[in-house]
Structure 1
Amino acid sequence: MKIHHIGPMNVNPYQRQLTKTERLAARKASGDQVEISKEAKELQEAASWEQARQAKLDELRQQIENGTYTVDPKAVAKRMIDYYRNHR
């Protein structure tokens, strides 16, 4: 029994499949990429600000309960004057 070449000369269907598989593997090797938008980064930073603000509020609440909280009247007056001068 004589076995002839597969298909026309130098054409091998299995080689085509192997080439296709190699191309798909090369595409997958490039990998996925994730980018975080500027707005998402700002939201992440805002979460840390909220924690810091909450810690400051807790500290002030504790001072008020202990009776150790004091108000600087000159600083309050200065801030009030600055506010009304800048918001006309």
Structure 2
Amino acid sequence: MKIHGPNHSNFNLYKKQLQSQAEQKKEIDQQDRLEISNRAKQLQENNQPSTKRKAYVQDIKKQIESGKYQVNHEVLAKKMFDFWSKQ
């Protein structure tokens, strides 16, 4: 039986492959970037709900929490029908 010391060339067969993968990962991490343009940021800010809409939603939330919110089934059914008939 022949025993070789830690300097033997087959001691770590996958070391070179692991180093290569680590280097590739570093390159990928450095290359991938996402930048949002100023125009896109403005569009996102414009999509914020209006104060009137916020007040309406808050009113509905309060009604639901107090148990006073009533669903008008006829109006709901008509809106659903109109929505699905357009598509």
The reply to whether TM is greater than 0.5 is: no
Q: TM-score, normalised by structure 2?
A: 0.43
